[in-house]
């Protein structure tokens, strides 16, 4: 069974293109709102990293709420990041590779190269498009930084129990949107 986001029933969350702009425990500048209380509370990035090694095995993902769409996007991004880290033998090399991935051109629905064309709706305005692009950039940067903490051991060597998942394909068949 797929692990779904616990943010499925969040009320009053702003959305852009059907993507919820969930609170982030982040020091990075961007449109992601800060959580009300940071003590002991997980955010969507924590969930994506925690659930990644389970969810990456599934080919289908029944969407239970808008937060699941963001979880799918982040799972795909973590998979892409691990592929970039595969050849990096030190934390310094890995940091350089993955942080560049986080800030490179972020595609949004309707642009070529966006991985999940049916997952999010098309932007209704240029302002909505930029809001989503900025949020995805912020969440990718935050995910990159936190992923380095689990993909590498404290001594700077790769964690084989994480990098082994770089070989896995995530959702190589059609999404089930319910």
Confirm whether 68 is domain-assigned: yes
Q: Domain residues for 104?
A: 41-110+119-164
Q: What is the tens place of the pLDDT at every residue in 75-128?
A: 889 988 888 898 889 999 999 888 888 777 888 898 888 887 788 899 999 999
Residue 6 inside a domain? The answer is no
**Taking Cα atoms as reference points, which of 19, 10, 24 lies closest to residue 123?**
19
Residue 172 has pLDDT above 80, yes or no: no
CATH number at residue 69: 1.10.1760.10
Total domain count, the chain: 1
| 7 assigned to some structural domain | no
- What is residue 169's predicted lDDT score, i.e. its pLDDT? 66
| Residue 55 maps to a domain | yes
Q: What is the DSSP string of 111-165?
A: STT-S-TTTSPPPSSHHHHHHHHHHHHHHHHHHHHHHHHHHB-TTS-B-HHHHGG
Asked if pLDDT for residue 39 goes beyond 60, the answer is no
47-80 residue pLDDT tens: 999 988 888 777 777 888 888 889 889 988 998 8
pLDDT for the residue 101: 80
């Amino acid at each position: 069974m797929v692990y779904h986001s616990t943010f499925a029933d969040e009320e009053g969350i702003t959305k852009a293109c059907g993507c919820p702009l969930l609170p982030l425990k982040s020091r990075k500048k961007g449109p992601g709102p800060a959580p009300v209380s940071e003590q002991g509370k997980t955010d969507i990035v924590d969930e994506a990293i925690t659930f990644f090694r389970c969810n990456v095995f599934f080919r289908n993902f029944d969407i239970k709420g808008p937060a699941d769409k963001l979880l799918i996007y982040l799972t795909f991004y973590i998979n892409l990041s691990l592929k970039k880290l595969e050849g990096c033998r030190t934390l310094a090399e890995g940091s350089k590779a993955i942080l560049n991935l986080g800030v490179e051109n972020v595609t949004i629905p309707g642009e070529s190269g966006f991985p999940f064309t049916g997952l999010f709706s098309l932007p209704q305005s240029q302002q909505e498009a930029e809001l989503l692009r900025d949020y995805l950039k912020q969440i990718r940067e935050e995910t990159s930084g936190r992923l380095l903490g689990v993909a590498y051991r404290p001594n700077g060597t790769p964690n084989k129990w994480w990098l082994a998942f770089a070989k896995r394909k995530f959702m190589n068949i059609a999404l089930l949107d319910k």
